[in-house]
Amino acid sequence: MITEILVFISTTIVFYALYTYKKGHYYFQSRGLKYIQGVPLFGNTLRSTFGGHHMIYDIDQVYKAFPNEKYVGYMEGTKPHVLVRDPALIRQLTVKDFDHFLDHKSFFTDQIFMDSLFMMKGDRWRHMRATLSPAFTGSKMKQMVPFMNEISLNIVDYLKEKEGETINVDDIIRRYSNDVIASTAFGIQVNSLRDPDNEFYRTGQAVMTFTLYQKLKLVFMTMFPGLMKHADIFPQSATEFFKRIVSETMEYREKNNIERPDMIQLLMEAKKGTLKAQGEDKLDKIGFATTEDVEVKPQSEKSDWTQDELAAQAFLFFAAGFESAASAIALAIHELAINPAVQSRLYDEVKQTHDKHGRVNYEVIQGMKYLDCVFSETLRKWSPAIVMDRVCVRPYTLPPASEGAKPVKVNVGDVLYNVVNSLQLDPQYYPDPLKFDPDRFSDERKHEIQPTTYVPFGNGPRNCIASRFAILEAKVLMFHLILNFEVLKTEKTLDPIVLRAGDFSIKVKGGSYVQCRARK
């Protein structure tokens, strides 16, 4: 009996694999799209699925295979996607014709994630985006710099004790990110270097460090999206933690008339409808990578936000800050270790700025041009975005993919992947793209950057709402780190950098190891 069941299951999987394989390829063939033949069940993602390399390299292989095409076919597991590789077309799809591609693809189905700004769809998303946009203006971010300064100095004190030792930057930066978010979002003081097992950090690890079981779930969600549409990924204890923290903190502040310039306060104002836009000002531009504000106009009336919906925004802010921002900062420090000439120039600017102003504030950070060049170049080489996924919500016709080809109809529900990393590493747009060259973003050269070839925080109305926060968080720490230490390459420092396989996030294979030597 068991043998018959196993044979039936195996046969069903084989037939399903062949069916989806042929169906996906027919999708491309019927539209005249060029594509690389994938593997049944895995499509073009076989190597990244089994830890052969990072998923970026799967996408880049397809991107490079057809240099004359504006878009091509890409099979992610059993699902056919359109991989858009032309910068002008990407801009058209994400800005001008945004209303046709309003939504993100659903991949995690946990309710707290589905309730977040990132996964909200249609007019519900428009309302939340319009509600939260005033929370991320330069004026609001300015108020968070003192918290970032305080936590950065905790990092400096810790590293002074570790002078001469080889340290894992990944671990330290994630603890910094954790503490910044705990303070600036939730008003909770945490020092994760002194209290390494605090609840905030443990929760962050539980959310962002996937177990083998979770990774298998993700593989099956890619292969069998219909069967796995109700499978949760994040531990229930983690999601309940955020709901409890948001609810209890709001209740306590309302009861005791407490106000603090952090995310909880902004969410409380959003719930009451008192969070208002202040108009664009000179504080809104914190760096070259800052996303543009795009006005989003809801098309219907919206009732008050629920407590769970507000908790979901806090969860998203924590998850994105804990992982994406931390990855970018860690890679910036790794690049400084293997590019000492760049680090030396950055130190000169940091030292001059410190001698003139002392501890940094928002306006001082804005004026540090080379620091901005360094972090902008880090985001070019190692953007956490990978692709800008968009789901078609209104029928659309793409222009011909190449000369002589026919226009392609995109149906409701079809998924487009607008590439990010592959464009930013294309020698057509960035000569010697693997070289870490911050001067690409200098006043003299940044005009050479073609529109939509640099979008580390996305593009159009659905760009990253918290780009200012992420850039600010990185720059404040880098200021204090480079002021106090020379970051040195060690035998364990990977050069050149290769990304770790088996992760959505951007991390260095084997870890980012450096040594910090105190400056005299």
Q: Which residues are annotated as a binding site for heme?
A: 464
The DSSP result for 358-385, as a single string, is SS--HHHHHT-HHHHHHHHHHHHHT-S-
Task: State how far the Cα of 108 lies from the Cα of 425, in Å rounded to an integer.
Answer: 28
Q: How far is CA 353 from CA 145, 208, 347, 348, 357, in A?
A: 16, 36, 10, 9, 6
Strands 415-419, 79-84: pairing kind: parallel
Q: Which among 224, 218, 228, 229 is positioned nearest to 16, based on CA atoms?
A: 224
Task: State how far the Cα of 344 lies from the Cα of 351, in Å rounded to an integer.
Answer: 10
Contacts of 155 (CB under 8 A, 6+ apart): 172, 176, 193, 477, 480, 481
Q: Is 2 left (phi over 0), alpha (psi -120 to 50) or beta?
A: alpha
Inter-axis angle of helices 236-256 and 263-272, nearest 10:
70
Task: Judge whether 318 and 204 are in contact, CB under 8 Å.
Answer: yes
Q: Is 337 helix (H, G, I), strand (E, B) or coil?
A: helix
Task: State how far the Cα of 101 lies from the Cα of 10, in Å rounded to an integer.
Answer: 38
Q: Which positions make up the binding site?
A: 464
> Prior bond to 431 cis, omega within 30?
no
Task: State how far the Cα of 268 lies from the Cα of 365, in Å rounded to an integer.
Answer: 29
Residue 6 in tokens: 């196993």
Q: Which among 13, 14, 65 is positioned nearest to 35, based on CA atoms?
A: 65
Task: Judge whether 190 and 161 are in contact, CB under 8 Å.
Answer: no
The structure tokens 């709901």 sit at 243
H or E element in which residue 196 lies? none
Task: State how far the Cα of 218 lies from the Cα of 225, in Å rounded to an integer.
Answer: 10
Q: 151: buried, middle or exposed (CB in 10 Å: 19+, 13-18, 0-12)?
A: buried
Task: State how far the Cα of 321 lies from the Cα of 331, in Å rounded to an integer.
Answer: 15
Strands 71-76, 79-84: pairing kind: antiparallel
Task: Determine how many CB atoms are found less than 10 A away from the CB of residue 92.
Answer: 18
Task: State how far the Cα of 423 lies from the Cα of 269, in Å rounded to an integer.
Answer: 39
